[in-house]
Each structure stands twice: as C-alpha cells, then as structure tokens.
Amino acid sequence: MKYPIAIIITVCLILSLMVSFCPAETEEDFKISEIDEATFARMKGKSYKDDCPIPLGDLRLLHVLHKDLEGNTHKGELVCNVYIASDVLEIFKALYEVGYPIERVRLVDEYNADDETSMRDNNSSCFNFRFISHTTRISKHGLGLAVDINTLYNPFVKEVNGKRNVEPATAEEYTDRTKSFPYKIESGDLCYRLFTERGFEWGGEWKTVKDYQHFEVSDKVAEELYPNYR
C-alpha cells in the first residue's frame, strides 16, 4: 500500500478539525438588529419617508447570506417589521442552506427606494413605505410586512383601466408561468412552503392580480398590528 493507514487517519483528522473550526456561517451572517443611526441615515427620505407612520422601533435590519444561481455566497441586508423578523431570518437561512438561488438582497434605499429599479435588478426586499401600485392604500411593504423574492423573474401583473400592466416593465417574458426558467417561484416549491407554513400569503395565488414575487401577512394580522393603516 502506498500510504500507511496512520497517515490516512491523520489527514482525515486534520481535515475534520479544519471543517469544525471553519463553520459555514457565523452568528454575524444571520442576525437581527435594531435600526441604528447609520442604517436610518441610509433609509431617511427614501424607504423611510417623512410621512411614514410606522415607528422606527417597529423595524429591524436583517443580515443574511444567500446563494446565486452559480452557488456563490453573497451577503444580503433587508429591513422588515419586528413582527416577522425571526420568520424572515429563518426562511432566508433555510433557503441558503439548500442553495435556493436568490440573486440580490439589498436595501431598496440603494435604488433610491424606487421599486421598479430594484425589481429590474432582481433585488429581493421587504420594507419600503409606499402605496399599492395604482391605489391610495398603504402597501404591506409600507408596514414591513411583505417580502418580495427574485423580483425580475416573478413579476407583478395587473389590469389597469383595461390595460395589462407588468412590474417591472422588463419582465414580460416571465409572465408566462407555464415556462420554466431560473428563480421562478411556484406553488408548492420550497420558497412558497417556507413562507406559507409561517402564515404568509402568496401573491401568485391571488385571483384578480398576480404578484409572483410577493409574500405578505394576512389583512387580519396587519389590521391587528396597525388598526388604522388603510
């Protein structure tokens, strides 16, 4: 035999020690923080507009890891409501651990809080104080109670004044849900299950509009937390 058994055992021991000393992720990789001054400075006048009725204390900054389609690991950040913070952290952790691809997770403030630009970049995000498109109702994103995942490939499709509207406008080819393509969210897949098991509703199952990127808490929960929000 070319390699004595003792050498093989020693090499295996060293390798296993290296693995145990180099954990795949640390507590810093997946964590929930209050919105500190530095974070608020990034949000002010963008996702957190001056007329935002949600107290800053109700929001949290999440740090997550995520993998892209090639399996490369990236650091991501998102702001959401404290009510869903642990759930969202657990969901992103579970998706990361199985290598479910998520291309980008950046604060929407990096896009000047412009949802269309963020979606065209396939960014996944949560809090952004705004109204539901083509209405005067506060979106659940405005409460930090809705999460959008892989937004370019999972667009929002709605009829407005008899005209079909797709957001982002560059996502037309991904509105045909009979096709298969990367980053597509489908009923019953892991992303869908992780959210719906925790009580989120999926916009891909709505009847009048389709919002394939969108997971939100129920109206009942939102109204209990913010009775006057609409």
Binding-site residue total for Zn ion (CB under 5 A)?
A: 3
Angle at 97 between CA 11 and CA 141, to 5 degrees: 155
Return the number of the residue (103 or 148) whose C-beta is nearest Zn ion. Answer: 148
Regarding 115 and contact with Zn ion (CB under 5 A), the answer is no
In the complex, minimum distance from the CB of residue 147 to Zn ion, in angstroms, rounded to a whole number: 7
CB 80 within 8 A of CB 48: no
Return the number of the residue (87 or 148) whose C-beta is nearest Zn ion. Answer: 148
DSSP code string of 90-106: HHHHHHHHTT-B--B--
Regarding 210 and contact with Zn ion (CB under 5 A), the answer is no
Among 1-9, 31-39, 88-96, 206-214, the segment contacting Zn ion (CB under 5 A)? 206-214
Nearest in space to 53 (alpha carbons), one of 210, 230, 221, 209: 230
In the complex, minimum distance from the CB of residue 28 to Zn ion, in angstroms, rounded to a whole number: 28
Nearest in space to 115 (alpha carbons), one of 35, 74, 171, 195: 171
In the complex, minimum distance from the CB of residue 129 to Zn ion, in angstroms, rounded to a whole number: 13
230 CB-near residues (< 8 Å, 6+ apart) = 137, 138
Please report where in the chains the tokens 């869908």 appear, as a residue. Answer: 192
Residue number, nearest CB to Zn ion: 214
String of contacts with Zn ion for each residue 130-149, x by CB under 5 A: ----------------x-x-
Return the number of the residue (148 or 201) whose C-beta is nearest Zn ion. Answer: 148
Report how far residue 120's alpha carbon sits from residue 141's, in angstroms, rounded to the nearest whole number.
Answer: 18
Q: Which of 66, 67, 104, 214 binds Zn ion (CB under 5 A)?
A: 214
Report how far residue 10's alpha carbon sits from residue 30's, in angstroms, rounded to the nearest whole number.
Answer: 34
Regarding 103 and contact with Zn ion (CB under 5 A), the answer is no
Task: Provide the binding-site residues for Zn ion, judged by CB under 5 A.
Answer: 146, 148, 214
